[in-house]
């Protein structure tokens, strides 16, 4: 298993191109199963998670060609409606093939998902939505077996709480359902509107995506399209937080600061100077520690749970005490003991972590536990004195494109050790 060695204590200067959003790419890729015509995605990130989903889509009969950041998918015929455990367990987003397969073929058998070990993460809301649209669903030895021989129909679905995955799944399935579907208490993450834009370019009739109520008028068939994947807001925020922790000045290009939602004012209050550019943002940290701040993770436009770990790394050397409350996932502080190995003073009580800023972190061997937690260790390693060795970097490869290359170009000493 590869490791990353980082010699910290160097400020970052330069430019980082932000990749297309992993969390959007995975959903628009699943949309390719809804049509027998080609779907071309530009600004597609080349990530382990994307490759994993490509393997699954190939099994369903989709041809794929990745050229630079352009991904062409073509599911002319559905070769199989079964998504096996081996391909679904490693990544939760693979589960989203269920709705498209069901909508197009009237049946599907998909393994229950896996993904980061950050909580129980059930799929009950996904299944309720599909059931409301007329699917008969059974659970059989770890598989969801779903059928809708006469097709799906529109439904009025009010989610009891916000779920990104369930909102996307319902939207994907409803595009080909008979009649209209209304999704209430829908997730408002930018990736939802991105998926709707892609589906609408394919001929779907979706209104209101990005708001709490989404209306979908089912159509008979979808056609091919070309769609540009929106920039990765989590990658954007993570590099901004790296500047907060290590110092320096970075231009983050190919992105949009507005995608950061509540994280943008938080970065500014913590002491980063942020200049909005036409094609991204410039982030600058004057010498001296960040200011400690309290945050609570919330669905968009609140502070994203996917930036919580990176924020904690930044707060580890802030001046004062920061309280970080995680409300989305129940087990998302696994980075706290790893950061503590580097000298961070963090105590966790239930949903809240209290971080008492220290003047400096010290490099140490640490273990990456999940995708975003891994990035928090990179940020801490960049800021720390001496060498940090991060084990299990395959987590990072799932979601951060060309990480070492992007950081090395900005003056970081970071090296992958292949094992």
Identify which of residues 193 and 414 has a Cβ nearer to ligand UD1 in the complex: 193
- Determine, following the binding rule CB under 6 A, whether residue 303 of this chain makes contact with ligand UD1: no
Angle at 364 between CA 363 and CA 365, to 5 degrees: 140
Radius of gyration of the chain (CA): 21
Point out which span in 123-131, 146-154, 311-319, 355-363 binds ligand UD1 (CB under 6 A): 123-131
Point out which span in 9-17, 122-130, 254-262, 358-366 binds ligand UD1 (CB under 6 A): 122-130
DSSP state of 96: G
Rounded to whole angstroms, how far apart are CA atoms 367 and 362?
Answer: 15
CA 217 to chain centroid: 27
Query: Nearest approach, Cβ of 211 to ligand UD1 (angstroms)?
Result: 16
Identify which of residues 75 and 164 has a Cβ nearer to ligand UD1 in the complex: 164
Identify which of residues 239 and 303 has a Cβ nearer to ligand UD1 in the complex: 303
Q: Which two tokens stand for residue 248?
A: 């320096």
Residue in this structure with the two tokens 């998909």, named with its chain if needed: 110
Residues numbered 53 to 72 that lie near ligand UD1 (CB under 6 A) are: none
Residue of 116, 198, 290, 410 marked active site: 116
Query: Nearest approach, Cβ of 364 to ligand UD1 (angstroms)?
Result: 27
Q: How many residues interact with ligand UD1 (rule CB under 6 A)?
A: 21
Identify which of residues 107 and 121 has a Cβ nearer to ligand UD1 in the complex: 121
Helix (H) or strand (E) holding 280: strand 280-285
Q: Are 338 and 331 a contacting pair, CB within 8 Å?
A: no
Query: Nearest approach, Cβ of 315 to ligand UD1 (angstroms)?
Result: 19
| Binds ligand UD1 by CB under 6 A, chosen from 44, 62, 64, 123 | 123
Identify which of residues 23 and 35 has a Cβ nearer to ligand UD1 in the complex: 23
Query: Nearest approach, Cβ of 70 to ligand UD1 (angstroms)?
Result: 21
- Determine, following the binding rule CB under 6 A, whether residue 210 of this chain makes contact with ligand UD1: no
Query: Nearest approach, Cβ of 239 to ligand UD1 (angstroms)?
Result: 17
Rounded to whole angstroms, how far apart are CA atoms 50 and 60?
Answer: 15
DSSP string, 190-247: HHHHHHHHHHHHTT-EEE-BTBS-EEEE--S----EEEEPPB-HHHHHHHHHHHHHH-
- Determine, following the binding rule CB under 6 A, whether residue 329 of this chain makes contact with ligand UD1: yes
| Binds ligand UD1 by CB under 6 A, chosen from 63, 86, 122, 156 | 122
Residues numbered 81 to 120 that lie near ligand UD1 (CB under 6 A) are: 92-93, 119-120
Residues numbered 153 to 192 that lie near ligand UD1 (CB under 6 A) are: 163-166, 187
First to last CA, the chain: 5
Identify which of residues 195 and 412 has a Cβ nearer to ligand UD1 in the complex: 195
Closest CA to 255 of 54, 411, 24, 49: 24
Outline where 90-151 has alpha helix (H): 98-105, 124-132
**Torsion over CA: 382, 386, 391, 394 (sign):** positive
198 is catalytic: no
Query: Nearest approach, Cβ of 161 to ligand UD1 (angstroms)?
Result: 6
Query: Nearest approach, Cβ of 299 to ligand UD1 (angstroms)?
Result: 7
Identify which of residues 10 and 46 has a Cβ nearer to ligand UD1 in the complex: 46
Rounded to whole angstroms, how far apart are CA atoms 59 and 218?
Answer: 27
Burial class (CB in 10 A: 0-12, 13-18, 19+), 42: middle
**Could you list the active site residues?**
116
Please report, as ranges, the residues that interact with ligand UD1 according to CB under 6 A: 23, 26, 92-93, 119-126, 163-166, 187, 305-306, 328-329
């Amino acid at each position: 298993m590869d490791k990353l060695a980082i010699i910290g204590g160097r400020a970052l200067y330069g430019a980082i191109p932000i990749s297309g959003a992993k969390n959007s790419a995975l959903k628009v890729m699943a949309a390719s199963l809804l049509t027998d015509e080609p779907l071309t995605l530009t600004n597609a990130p080349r990530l382990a998670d994307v490759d994993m989903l490509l393997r699954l889509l190939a099994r369903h009969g989709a041809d794929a060609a990745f050229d630079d950041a352009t991904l062409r998918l073509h599911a002319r015929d559905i070769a199989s409606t079964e998504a096996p455990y081996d391909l679904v367990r490693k990544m939760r987003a693979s589960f989203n093939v269920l709705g498209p397969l069901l909508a197009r073929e009237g049946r599907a058998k998909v393994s229950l998902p896996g993904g980061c070990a950050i909580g129980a993460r059930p799929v009950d809301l996904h299944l309720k939505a599909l059931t409301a649209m007329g699917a008969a669903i059974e659970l059989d030895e770890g598989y969801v077996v779903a059928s809708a021989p006469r097709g799906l129909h529109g439904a009025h679905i009010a989610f009891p709480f916000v779920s990104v995955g369930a909102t996307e799944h319902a939207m994907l399935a409803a595009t080909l359902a008979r009649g209209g579907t209304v999704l209430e208490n829908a997730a408002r993450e930018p990736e939802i509107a991105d998926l709707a834009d892609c589906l609408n370019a394919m001929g779907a009739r979706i209104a209101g995506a990005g708001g709490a109520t989404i209306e979908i008028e089912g159509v008979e068939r979808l056609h091919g399209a070309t769609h540009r994947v929106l920039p990765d807001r989590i990658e954007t925020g993570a590099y901004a937080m790296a500047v907060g922790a290590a110092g320096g000045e970075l231009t983050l290009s190919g992105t949009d600061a507005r995608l950061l939602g509540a994280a943008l004012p938080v970065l500014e209050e913590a002491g980063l100077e942020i200049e909005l550019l036409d094609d991204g943002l410039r982030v600058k940290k004057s010498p001296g520690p960040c200011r400690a701040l309290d945050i609570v993770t919330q669905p968009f436009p609140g502070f994203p749970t996917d930036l919580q770990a990176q924020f904690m790394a930044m707060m580890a050397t802030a001046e004062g005490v920061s309280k970080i409350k995680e409300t989305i996932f129940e087990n998302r502080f696994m980075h706290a003991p790893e950061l503590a190995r580097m000298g961070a003073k963090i105590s966790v009580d239930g949903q809240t972590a209290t971080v008492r800023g220290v003047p400096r972190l010290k490099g140490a061997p640490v273990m990456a536990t999940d995708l975003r937690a891994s990035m928090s260790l990179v940020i801490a390693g960049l800021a720390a004195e001496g060498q940090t060795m991060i084990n299990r970097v395959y987590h990072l490869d799932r979601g951060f494109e060309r990480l070492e290359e992007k950081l090395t170009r900005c003056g970081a000493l970071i090296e992958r050790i292949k094992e």
